Structure 1
Amino acid sequence: MGGVRLLVVDDDPLVRSALTLMLGGQPDVEVVGEAGDGLQALTQVRELRPDVVLMDIRMPRMSGLEATAALHARPEPPHVIVLTTFDADEHVLGALAAGADGFLLKDTPPAQLLEAVRAVAEGDPMLSPSVTRTLIERLRADPAADRAEQAQQRLASLTGREHEVALAVGRGLTNAEIARELCLSVPTVKAHVSRLFDKLAVTNRVQIAICVHDAGLV
């Protein structure tokens, strides 16, 4: 089909069915499978090789957080969007640190959920506004006094252009938006983001944004 290959993971069969019907009817999205817990998700990913995984965070046997970390440790892992019922979920930071590319509420409107799947498949992170507020508030409340200093030291290794791209990522801009703002091509932006992964020792764009926020630059 040439579209986004999607795996839906949730312990509630009704939620899985609803997501499959809602997203699988799109011409550019193919729901290749479903899983009821994290262990099944690992097996399905190995067999079906989806581009994006919609991952419930609270499941029996293996949670979405554990499954996300396990997937991210694999070569060429799929992109993961973590779904939760509560925007104050205590696992927000853990899921992002584990390698999740997005964090959305289950009541996200269908159009926005579809947009998130497409964006994450292209390498752009996606956080619901309420989750973003929760994330920033928790980072600011972190008592670790050296967080800002460590982030500033990491960012000091960047070139001027890489620094500009990092700040734009920290503001939540997509690759296309960064390209327009900095008068660059999208492939050039993607190349800069890839170098940021190496220089900042991070594994996804959300972690770049966290580093920029830690440094007090956004």
Structure 2
Amino acid sequence: MDVDENGGKRTIAVSVVDDDPMICQTMQVIIDDYSQGRVKVVSTALNAADAVEQAKQEKPDVVLMDLAMPGCDGIEATRLLRRLDQPPHVLVLTSLSPSQTIEKAVEAGAEGFISKTDPPKEIIQRIIGACHGEPQFNAASTRQLIHRLSGSQPMTRRDEARALLDTLSERERQAALLAARGMTNQEIADHMYISERTVKAHLSSACETLSMGRVQLARLVERADLDN
């Protein structure tokens, strides 16, 4: 369960998108059986077009998105989902390790990935973590992903990234820099001697100011190359 605006508990609504009906069914069983009521699959879709239409009506909190689908692929579907008035968090549903395809998904707005072979408990944790605004990549994958993306940027993009970070308040900027290092909200709170709730507020404000998610904020920090 997640916390709603009134401080109560609510179930996290999830939509599963995969062109293989068996994958949809398997993920639904895993989520419904292992989440202890914290997460519930509200819909499944076999193609991107249906996924976007369902999201408009159902407004799921999280969409698990397969990338390799006929017609409109998962990357374009992610882009369309993130443009909705109430955009869901999108986690890439994959059987592969992060690759250049994952990079494109992040560019489209995905906030992490779930392997179809992950243990059920880890799948649940990643879904809940995404709802808390935390990127759902392991540390090694995050570093590799950010390094490849930032390494392809020309020097002028570095200056642009630095200018964008300078628009943040000092505390927002500090929280963003620590988050980009892979720290959790609690670790950032301990480092800055503030509450975890305040950390979330700083990061949410930074993301809102820059119109980007936490993964994109981390990429921006890496691109700024502040050590040089």
The TM-score with structure 1 as length reference comes to 0.89
- Which of 134, 145, 153 is equivalent to 2:144? 134
Among 47, 53, 67, the residue aligned to 2:57: 47
User: Which residue of the partner structure matches residue 6 of structure 1?
Assistant: 14
User: What one-letter code is carried by the residue in structure 1 that aligns with 2:119?
Assistant: P
* Alignment match, 1:210: 219
The CA deviation at 1:67 is 1.0
Q: Is the 8 A contact 1:22 1:110 kept in 2?
A: yes
Q: 1:19 to 1:67 in 2, by over 3 A?
A: same
| Secondary structure in structure 2 of the residue aligned to 1:184 | coil
Write the distance in 1 (CA, Å) between the matches of 2:139 and 2:216: 17
- 1:178 aligned partner, one-letter code: I
SS at match of 1:32: strand
Of 205-214 and 14-23, more deviation after overlay is shown by 14-23
Alpha-carbon distance in structure 2 between the residues aligned to 1:98 and 1:59: 16
| Alignment match, 1:123 | 133
For the 8 Å contact 1:103–1:131, the answer to whether it is kept is: no
Q: 1:188 to 1:97 in 2, by over 3 A?
A: same
Question: CA deviation digits over 1:30-52, x for unaligned, max 9?
Answer: 11111111111112212222111
Q: Which amino acid aligns with 2:149?
A: L
Corresponding letter in the other structure for 2:121:
A
In structure 2, the residue matched to 1:103 is 113
Residue 18, structure 1, aligned to residue 23, structure 2 = no
| Distance verdict in 2 for CA 1:51–1:167, change over 3 Å | same
Match of 2:190 in 1: 180
Q: Distance in 2 between matches of 1:20 and 1:150?
A: 43
CA displacement at 1:57 relative to structure 2: 1.0
* Match of residue 169 from structure 2: 159
Instruction: Please give the per-residue CA displacement for 1:44-70, whole angstroms capped at 9, x wherever unaligned.
Output: 212222111111111112211111111
Determine the C-alpha separation between the residues in 1 that align with 2:103 and 2:211: 14
* Superposed displacement of residue 214, structure 1: 1.0
User: What amino acid is the match of 1:59?
Assistant: M
Deviation per CA, 1:46-95: give whole Å up to 9, x if none. Answer: 22221111111111122111111111111121111112233243222221
Picking from 146, 169, 178, the partner of 1:168 is 178
Structure 1 residue ranges, 4+ long, deviating more than 6 angstroms after superposition: none
- Does residue 1:79 correspond to 2:85, yes or no? no
In 2, the alpha carbon distance for the partners of 1:217 and 1:110 equals 38
TM-score w.r.t. the length of structure 2 is 0.86
Tell me how many residue pairs correspond in the alignment: 217
- Structure 1 Cα separation of the partners of residues 45 and 155 of structure 2: 41
User: What percent identity do the matched residue pairs reach?
Assistant: 37
Q: Is the 8 A contact 1:104 1:131 kept in 2?
A: no
**Runs of 5+ unmatched residues, structure 1:** none
- The whole-number CA distance in structure 1 between the counterparts of 2:138 and 2:159 is 28
Task: Give the corresponding residue for 1:70.
Answer: 80
The CA deviation at 1:121 is: 1.4
Amino acid at match of 2:206: L
Separation of aligned partners in 2, 1:61 and 1:134: 29
Structure 2: runs of 5+ lacking an equivalent: 2-9
Q: Distance in 2 between matches of 1:3 and 1:177?
A: 26
